[in-house]
A and B are shown apart, each in its own frame.
Chain A
Amino acid sequence: MTTSRKRFTAPQRLLHWLMAICILSMLFIGVGMVSTVTSKYLTLVQIHKPLGIAILVLALIRLSLRFVFHAPVLPADMPRPMRLAAELSQYVLYALMIGMPLIGWGMLSAASYPVVLFGSVHLPSILPVSPSLHTLLWHAHYYLAFAFFATILMHVAAILFHKLIRNDGVFEAMAPVLTHDESEI
């Protein structure tokens, strides 16, 4: 699942950065909306649902691109634990990007809420109405959100480590644009 290219393809990079904005916003919207009773609550909930579905769609496209274009190889000199962490984190992030929206969708279904995206566009229910199912999914959605946030923090810390400490080209593989002197890497 690797390619000899040093960088991810342009569509992959575009999706990465678009999704980075979406997902980080999503996590902030999530913790923000459940902490307020002002009119911001409704506004945030109304963004949370369609944005979650958008992330699901983008993640599936991104996964397909990954199967087509693969990922650049990690630097050969990366220590084994670091390499393991890098590879594992990618599985975790993909699982959460696809899992979280599905859990949210299922959670709303199990609570008999309509899943309204915008205006008159709504999604079908994907699960039967069930308090126990709702509880399971709601807990999963809640705790996995914090796990997602923690994983992203580690992801950010790690990539900054690659850039600032190791300067090994891993950051450049996903960088949106390259500066002149980086283009030789």
Chain B
Amino acid sequence: MPQSPLSPGNLPLTRLSVIAAVVGVVVISFAYTAGWLTPKRLTPKKLVASLAPPGGPALGHRRNHAKGICFTGTFEANGNGSELSRAQVFVAGQYPVVGRFNLATPNPNAADAMVRVRGIGIRITPPNGQEWRSAMIDAPIFPVSTVQDFYDLQMASSSKEPDAMKNFIAAHPEFTTFLGWAKSAPWTGSYAEERYNSLNSFVFIDNSGAKHTVRWSLVPAAQPVSILPDELAKRGPDFLDQEITQRVASSPQRWSVVVTLSNPGDPTADPNKAWPVDRRTVDVGTLTVQQIEPEADGPCRDINYDPTVLPAGITTSDDPFPSARSAAYSRSYNSRTAEEKYYPRNATGGKQ
């Protein structure tokens, strides 16, 4: 039964406090969910900020792997992958690729000879629109085993504490495996001579619904020629860009796309651990790089090579990194696209 209109003089305070309590509980739950009450939570914001050089990030650029060059080409599936995954991208045929060769540095102006880790991003688009994006690097293993360790590594390497790195290595002996590679692996003079590895594991789902946990690699057709870092340092700061541009202009460059299947018990959740070399591999097709284009107005510029953009038939695994990479890449993408005016687009690459 309706009451008389409200008179401010006799507001039932207890009932008003019920209203305040309901609203308060919802607000606090929301704040907790957003991480505002847990400053220690590792957020995409913190993870991305940890990658920035001391002077701050290069505005308008990717927050890591900031230096790169675009390419277009094809992925020619040979049909062998269909045994492992029902993704259309493995059905024999030729599918367009937009990719990017890059260096693992937050500095878009880094000298090529100074960056140890080289990478590649690819986006393969089959006719059904079920894209497969992947970002790989030439290291055979990832520096650390967990996302928190990766963050701690960034903090240690940028720390002013003299013992920060020493302490990090002592607490994370697995990092020495990576250091061993970084110190001893031969350098090459070309993006085309590198083998690029997914490092993270993913799950292929075949037509019967069976799951196969795999990693994949791009194995170059070009013969790697080992060159001493001192020799590379004498070349120009952009020698990799110039070399790949000339090389692809004279002939397309190819990689075999090789999928490695895990055995039960293999460390699928730890990209710092290589799988035994006798694991079964399947060559699923060929990546052909046909044309190089500068990033400034190139087709890769506005693409986020988020490794979780996967076609039906491929999913993420128990590897924790793809989720963290997706969260961080998204943040990087949002930042750099909002900083468009700082990005050195050339005359033809301006507004779309």
Asked if A and B bind, the verdict is yes
- A18-33 contacts to B (CB < 8 Å): 27-28, 31-33
Complex Cα–Cα for A185 and B304 (A) = 57
Kindly supply a per-residue 1/0 record for chain B positions 5-48, scoring 1 wherever the CB is within 8 Å of any chain A CB and 0 otherwise.
11000011001101100110011011001110000011110010
Complex Cα–Cα for A42 and B310 (A) = 12
Complex Cα–Cα for A37 and B332 (A) = 13
Complex Cα–Cα for A157 and B16 (A) = 9
- B327-352 contacts to A (CB < 8 Å): 327-328, 331, 333-334, 336-338, 340, 351-352
> Is residue A90 contacting chain B, with contact meaning CB distance below 8 A?
no
Kindly supply a per-residue 1/0 record for chain A positions 28-67, scoring 1 wherever the CB is within 8 Å of any chain B CB and 0 otherwise.
1001111111111110010000000000000000000000
Complex Cα–Cα for A77 and B7 (A) = 12
At the interface with chain A, which of B126-134, B272-280, B282-290? B126-134
B233 CB, nearest partner CB in chain A, Å: 35
Is the beta-carbon distance between A42 and B19 smaller than 8 angstroms?
no
A166 CB, nearest partner CB in chain B, Å: 6
A82 CB, nearest partner CB in chain B, Å: 9
Using Cβ atoms and an 8 Å threshold, which residues of chain B touch A27? 30
Which one of B328, B336, B352 contacts A37 once the chains associate, using CB atoms below 8 Å? B328
Kindly supply a per-residue 1/0 record for chain A positions 52-88, scoring 1 wherever the CB is within 8 Å of any chain B CB and 0 otherwise.
0000000000000000000000010101000000000
Which one of A37, A113, A138 contacts B327 once the chains associate, using CB atoms below 8 Å? A37
Is the beta-carbon distance between B129 and A42 smaller than 8 angstroms?
no
A41 in contact with B19 given A31-B33, A129-B352, A131-B340 (CB within 8 Å)? no
> Is residue B323 contacting chain A, with contact meaning CB distance below 8 A?
yes
> Is residue B79 contacting chain A, with contact meaning CB distance below 8 A?
no
Is the beta-carbon distance between B302 and A35 smaller than 8 angstroms?
no
Is the beta-carbon distance between B323 and A130 smaller than 8 angstroms?
no
> Is residue A132 contacting chain B, with contact meaning CB distance below 8 A?
yes
Complex Cα–Cα for A113 and B5 (A) = 54
Is the beta-carbon distance between B15 and A42 smaller than 8 angstroms?
no
Complex Cα–Cα for A53 and B62 (A) = 30
Is the beta-carbon distance between A32 and B312 smaller than 8 angstroms?
no
> Is residue A114 contacting chain B, with contact meaning CB distance below 8 A?
yes
Complex Cα–Cα for A161 and B308 (A) = 46
Which one of B11, B19, B129 contacts A157 once the chains associate, using CB atoms below 8 Å? B19
Is the beta-carbon distance between B35 and A166 smaller than 8 angstroms?
no
Q: How large is the interface on B (under 10, 10 to 19, 20 to 34, 35 or more residues)?
A: 35 or more
Using Cβ atoms and an 8 Å threshold, which residues of chain A touch B327? 33-34, 36-37, 41
Is the beta-carbon distance between B128 and A120 smaller than 8 angstroms?
yes
Is the beta-carbon distance between B337 and A42 smaller than 8 angstroms?
no
Is the beta-carbon distance between B15 and A35 smaller than 8 angstroms?
no
Complex Cα–Cα for A71 and B37 (A) = 40
Which one of B1, B44, B130, B316 contacts A34 once the chains associate, using CB atoms below 8 Å? B44
Which one of A130, A157, A169 contacts B23 once the chains associate, using CB atoms below 8 Å? A157
Complex Cα–Cα for A161 and B352 (A) = 51
- A-side interface residues, number (CB < 8 Å): 48
A120 CB, nearest partner CB in chain B, Å: 4
> Is residue B3 contacting chain A, with contact meaning CB distance below 8 A?
yes
Using Cβ atoms and an 8 Å threshold, which residues of chain A touch B316? 39, 42
Using Cβ atoms and an 8 Å threshold, which residues of chain A touch B169? none
- A130-185 contacts to B (CB < 8 Å): 130-132, 134-135, 138-139, 149, 153, 156-157, 160-161, 164-169, 184-185
Is the beta-carbon distance between B302 and A111 smaller than 8 angstroms?
yes
Complex Cα–Cα for A32 and B32 (A) = 9
Chain B residue with the shortest CB-CB distance to A107: B334
Using Cβ atoms and an 8 Å threshold, which residues of chain B touch A75? 2
> Is residue A122 contacting chain B, with contact meaning CB distance below 8 A?
yes
> Is residue B309 contacting chain A, with contact meaning CB distance below 8 A?
yes
Using Cβ atoms and an 8 Å threshold, which residues of chain B touch A167? 1-3
Is the beta-carbon distance between A114 and B129 smaller than 8 angstroms?
yes
A160 in contact with B18 given A35-B34, A36-B41, A132-B340 (CB within 8 Å)? yes
* Residue of B130, B306, B320, B334 most packed against chain A (CB within 10 A): B334
Is the beta-carbon distance between A153 and B23 smaller than 8 angstroms?
yes
Is the beta-carbon distance between A153 and B2 smaller than 8 angstroms?
no
Is the beta-carbon distance between B303 and A36 smaller than 8 angstroms?
no
A165 in contact with B44 given A41-B326, A42-B308, A77-B5 (CB within 8 Å)? no
> Is residue A119 contacting chain B, with contact meaning CB distance below 8 A?
yes
Show 9 A/B contacts (Cβ-Cβ < 8 Å), sorted by A: A35-B41, A37-B42, A79-B5, A113-B306, A130-B302, A131-B352, A149-B30, A153-B26, A157-B23
Interface residues of A (CB under 8 A from B): 27-28, 31-42, 45, 75, 77, 79, 111-114, 119-120, 122, 128-132, 134-135, 138-139, 149, 153, 156-157, 160-161, 164-169, 184-185
Per CB-CB distance, the 7 closest pairs between chain A and chain B, nearest first, are A35-B35, A120-B312, A131-B337, A31-B34, A37-B324, A164-B15, A42-B323
